[in-house]
Amino acid sequence: MIKRIAFTMVPISGVLVACGSSDGNGSTVNGVCGSSSTGKIVVTVSGLPSGLSASVNLVAGGVTQTATTPTTTTLDSIASGTYTVSADIVTQADPIVRTAYKGTVSVASVQVCDGETATLDVTYAPIATSNKMWWGNENGESPTLAYASSHLASSGSPAPDIEAGTEGAIPGEFDSDGNLWVIDGVGKSIKRYSADSLGAGGSQSADVEIDAAELAGGSPGPVSMTFDSKGDLFVGIAFSKTIVRFDRDQGLAVKGAGVHAPNATITVPDVPNALAFDKDDNLWAACANARVIKVPTPHDSGSITSPPDVSIEASTSSPVVSTLSNPVGLAFDAAGNLWVDYDGTFAALTSSDRSGSGEVSVTPAIQIQSDVTSLPGVIAFDESGGLWFAYSQGKIAKFGSSQLAASGTVTPEVILTSASIGSATGPALYPAPKALPLYAAVQK
């Protein structure tokens, strides 16, 4: 016999409870569910462009139920209990930088009871830092600039879409939510700028600041940073020739300023100019002694002083053989090659080049120079496989993916010029390209 149960949706301290009255045989009394009851959850999604679907996760007792829908869906025969609700970030394809959408759920958790139906609303909106390429900018009016993806497809002189007055600039990294972390060279701290604030441009105030004696104990201080796949932050420090790790679950998201002790300190042979993780979560560093190293693993102890697992010295091709010096930028491509900016010479270290142990000497098969004396600095790949870098004063540029297949002197496929650019320090993208092993890649 089918029994009808009357119910109302009652939000209690952020919990949406499907409470019911029973005829004596039902399973709810004052909103408390019976242990064997089941119910339904109706999930309604809005705000996404046509063709995109959301994944809404409901977790109870270690078990996850996922509703995937572009609009509305119903989860039937859901076991009674209280479910924690979250919505995955959704991305929209783009040839250069994707757009990311964040979902806001109507309640933090929902209770399901026998024969009853609970409803959830998830409203999506674009993350303000997405679908743009961000650049650090020295000797210009604004230290951080952004260009919309639509302005990056071909050469020209577009004005920046956003000019932001940050304290410190890229080299920095986006986290998985689109917040930008940068090095404050003056205060020798790490600062975070929220996606919403940075996307609005103008004068900026950091909402998170990491201060530590390890960052400010000498000069120069921090010079590089990257996230691992878990969201732990690694920072390279010049004066101490170390890399320090700040764990995600120990204060990175705590708003305001705070003194943080690093969770690990790794000693490296020389100044760690650039950092990058490969797909297996191995950390690589470009050191000022002309070597690219695989940082000792594992990274989970408090102090690591052992030598690098691999230390690579690269040379130019014959007939004139010399050491490639001053590696200042690192970036993995989708094929797993590690590209190194050796002071304006871009070389690809293949997995074979990076194999072995101890000190290794290689001659990279692909070595590319731009047609001008480019500014050495951070490099980054876009969704199409193009490699972006600071070109010359007032300019930024990209080698197209096809231009990266052979050695030689190459005129970049795209060159952008702007009076707003002084000396660009390098790019950062959110989301990072989907095919790359980056925390900000947002693999959805």
In the predicted model, is pLDDT for residue 30 greater than 70? no
Pairing relationship of beta strands 242-246 and 345-349 according to DSSP bridges: unpaired
Overall average pLDDT of the 113-128 stretch:
92
Rounded-to-integer distance, Cα 177 and Cα 102, Å: 8
Whether the predicted pLDDT of 373 surpasses 90: no
- Cβ–Cβ under 8 Å, residues 166 and 144: yes
130 phi, psi to nearest 5 deg: -85, 170
How far is residue 396's CA from residue 401's CA, in Å, rounded to a whole number? 16
Which residues are 410's β-sheet partners? 370
Tokens, residue 389? 């870098």
Encoded amino acid at 235, one letter? V
Q: How many CB atoms lie within 10 A of CB 140?
A: 21
- The residue assigned the tokens 């010079």 is 223
How far apart CA 249 and CA 263 sit, in angstroms, is 11
For residue 291, give the DSSP letter.
E
Positions of CATH 2.60.40.1120 in the chain: 7-126
Q: How does residue 113 score in pLDDT terms, banded at 50, 70 and 90?
A: confident
> What pLDDT score was predicted for residue 256?
62
Q: Does domain 132-441 have CATH number 2.120.10.30?
A: yes
Q: What is the pLDDT of residues 64-96, one digit of tens each?
A: 989 999 999 999 888 888 999 999 999 999 999
CATH of the structural domain 7-126, one choice from 2.60.40.1120, 2.40.50.420, 2.40.340.10, 2.40.30.10 = 2.60.40.1120
- Among 257, 259, 245, which Cα is nearest to 304's? 245
Kind and range of the H or E run holding 265: strand 264-267
First to last CA, the chain: 44
Q: For the chain, where do the domains classified as CATH 2.120.10.30 start and end?
A: 132-441
Q: Read off the pLDDT of residues 352-372 as tens digits, 9 standing for 90 and up.
A: 999 989 999 999 999 999 998
Q: Is 142 exposed, middle or buried (0-12, 13-18, 19+ CB in 10 A)?
A: buried
Strands 233-237 and 272-277: unpaired
* pLDDT band, very low/low/confident/very high, at 170 (cuts 50, 70, 90): confident
Task: Give dist(CA 176, CA 170) in Å, integer.
Answer: 17
**DSSP single-letter state for residue 160:** P
Band of pLDDT at residue 188, cut at 50, 70 and 90:
confident
pLDDT of 24 > 70? The answer is no
Q: How far is CA 322 from CA 317, 319, 330, in A?
A: 8, 10, 20
pLDDT at residue 259 above 80? Answer: no
